Amino acid sequence: MDRNQSHRQVATMKQSLFDQGYLDHEQFNQLEELQDDANPNFVEEVVTLYYRDSARLVHSIEQALEKSPIDFNKLDSYMHQFRGSSSSIGAKKVKAECSLFREYCRAGNGEGCMRTFQQVKKEYAALRKKLETFFQLARQAGPVDRARRPK
């Protein structure tokens, strides 16, 4: 059935996102479990909110990196927020890069920070694309049929 097929597709894609380390399966599953009839697109809404809100953080970090001398404390603070946000949606790779960034930050290594930040942005953008595809599939497949553990 088409429906089944689409659902399977969704499931497969999700699994691959987990396997490739883009998403943390535990956290992502938690979000999915929160989805219910009242909020059928909860996960998508959260992710959308994340990308919208974190955009300004990314921007702030970029600006802070351009300053001279670099204010590492501020950077660390921004990155702490960004990392927290990313981890709440299960963005695994993004979170890992953020942690690395913070290490460079604490060491006062501006170069390292800039390099790592490029990586952060790369992962951030890559994940966004994947999730967009994923949500498209999910919407096509229909609201039902999300594997949910009993609450």
Name the H helices within 107-141. 110-141
3-class state of residue 86 by DSSP: helix
Strand (E) or helix (H) holding 24? none
**For residue 144, how far is the Cα from the chain centroid?**
24
Q: Report residue 47 as tokens.
A: 């992710």
Rounded least distance, CB 50 to another protein, Å: 4
Q: Which is nearer to another protein, 129 or 151 (CB)?
A: 151
Q: Give contact residues for another protein (rule: CB under 8 A).
A: 27, 30-31, 33-34, 36, 38-39, 42, 45-46, 49-50, 53-54, 77, 80-81, 83-85, 87-90, 151
Rounded least distance, CB 74 to another protein, Å: 12
Rounded least distance, CB 7 to another protein, Å: 23
d(CA 41, CA 61): 30
Q: Which is nearer to another protein, 7 or 83 (CB)?
A: 83
